[in-house]
Amino acid sequence: MISTIYPQINEKFFFMDKEIIILNVYKIFQLAQVRYVCSQTKFMVDINVLSRSPNKIKSISIKILGEV
């Protein structure tokens, strides 16, 4: 989602292929605090990776870099 329109609190988006709910938006950092629809665990994501539809593109985990 490359746009000047920021997600709103309680709005639903997709983070890759998982549906998430926006809990808070930090515009200055372009980050959003989110949680998966089926979970209460909160985490932060870059708002530019959020989309309105699932993204099935394969990606590489940053964990392959080791202890970063």
pLDDT in tens, 2-60: 556 789 999 999 999 999 999 999 999 999 999 999 999 999 999 999 999 998 887 77
**Is 42 part of any domain?**
yes
DSSP 8-class letter at 32: E
Asked whether residue 7 is assigned to any structural domain, the reply reads no
Number of domains in the chain: 1
Taking CB atoms within 8 Å and a gap of at least 24, the contacts of 54-62 are: 54/14, 54/16, 54/17, 54/18, 54/19, 55/14, 55/16, 55/17, 56/17, 59/16
Residue 62 or 13, more confident: 13
Structural domain span for residue 43: 12-55
- pLDDT-derived band at 1, boundaries 50, 70, 90: very low
- pTM for this prediction: 0.78
